[in-house]
Amino acid sequence: MIEFEWPWIFLLLPAPLVLIWIKLRSLSSSRHHSETYWWSQHALPGTATPSNHTKSWLKTTNILLLISWFSLIVALARPVWIGSPTQITPSGRDLFVALDLSGSMQISDLQYQGRSVNRLAISKHVLSDFMDKRQGDRIGIIVFGTKAFLQAPLSFDISTVKQLIQETQIGFAGDKTAIGDAIGLGIKQLSELPSEKKVLILMTDGANTAGKVSPVQAANFAAEQGVTIHTIGIGADQMEVQGFFGPKTVNPSEDLDEATLDNIAHLTGGNYYRAKSTSDLEAIYDAINDIEPTPSEDLWQRPKDSLFVWFAILSGLLALGTIVNKGKVTLRWKTLK
């Protein structure tokens, strides 16, 4: 379907007819003109009568000129081709996930399908399922250990971000835990964006043992920038290990600083969650999915393509053809005279 942005331009369409009428009025008042007129199809008094071939050329010239003028008017009216409606998902949140890659994430104290799996593997699995439900969000990944790094910038390309998550390995960022620096990097990435809702999910199994910024300082700055932080403490609270005198039960999460993680969430308007098992972690991400919902309704848009240039080119080509044809008519008429 074609629409015109400036339809009032079509008011100029009769302009050539007005000019023809003015010229004919001028000719009727003067009988001494002998030149060939652009729109004339009849011999003027005192001139040779044009042949049928010359009349055909004159008629062709007038037709080309009329079509050229019509094409020019259509181009000036700004024609736009309106395509079929397409469905789009509106933008939701800008969401970063800060994933701990410190050495303690290799502890295999969580269960998946009946076998013990390390904390990072479970985190990757549950996080991927969570991301599949976040259509409409831009998601990015920060990894941290001794230092914090941007693993994946914010993107709607969920499949690529998931692939980058799977490529992370324990120790990539060092063996310590820089929680404050991870929050700071997330704020830096989010603060420059115009989105209304900015969310950071921080997942760790320890306490802040590295970095230049303390977690509480970073959380206060996040609150000033309007960034909501949800914190997740991951790791079982009981684990059986083989000791010198036989198996014994230990707490593999004794280094987890729950008080600080809870404070971070509280300062930024988020929530602190404790994941002691795989099912706990899945339930936590379901809860975050409910708290930070994606847009519920899709939008529809119709693509628009401007046709201005095509009608402008057509008008120019026809005008050029008119000039060439008029030259032939003038030469033919002079020959007749």
Half-sphere exposure of 170 (CA within 13 A, CB side): 16
pLDDT over 70 for what percent of the chain?
78
Closest by CA to 139, choosing from 120, 157, 127, is: 157
| Domain layout of the chain by residue ranges | 2-83+303-336, 88-291
Stretch 226-231: mean pLDDT, rounded?
95
For residue 211, count CB atoms less than 10 angstroms from its CB and return exposed for 0-12, middle for 13-18, buried for 19 or more: buried
DSSP letters spanning 108-148: --EEETTEEE-HHHHHHHHHHHHHHT-TT-EEEEEEESSSE
pLDDT higher than threshold 90 for residue 120: yes
For 124-157, the pLDDT digits (tens) are: 999 999 998 887 788 999 999 999 999 999 888 8
- Which stretch of DSSP H or E encloses residue 282? helix 278-291
Round to the nearest angstrom and report the end-to-end CA distance of the chain: 52
Closest by CA to 126, choosing from 17, 285, 259, is: 285
pLDDT higher than threshold 80 for residue 102: yes
Evaluate whether 199 touches 95 at the Cβ level (below 8 Å). yes
pLDDT higher than threshold 50 for residue 35: no
Range from 171-175, 220-224, 284-288 carrying the lowest mean pLDDT: 171-175
Range from 44-48, 142-146, 327-331 carrying the lowest mean pLDDT: 44-48
- Residues with Cβ within 8 Å of 76's Cβ and at least 6 positions away in sequence, in order, are 6, 9, 12
What pLDDT is recorded for position 48? 47
For 52-70, the pLDDT digits (tens) are: 554 555 566 677 778 888 8
CATH number, domain 88-291:
3.40.50.410
What pLDDT is recorded for position 224? 92
What pLDDT is recorded for position 58? 53
SS3 245: coil
Evaluate whether 276 touches 237 at the Cβ level (below 8 Å). yes
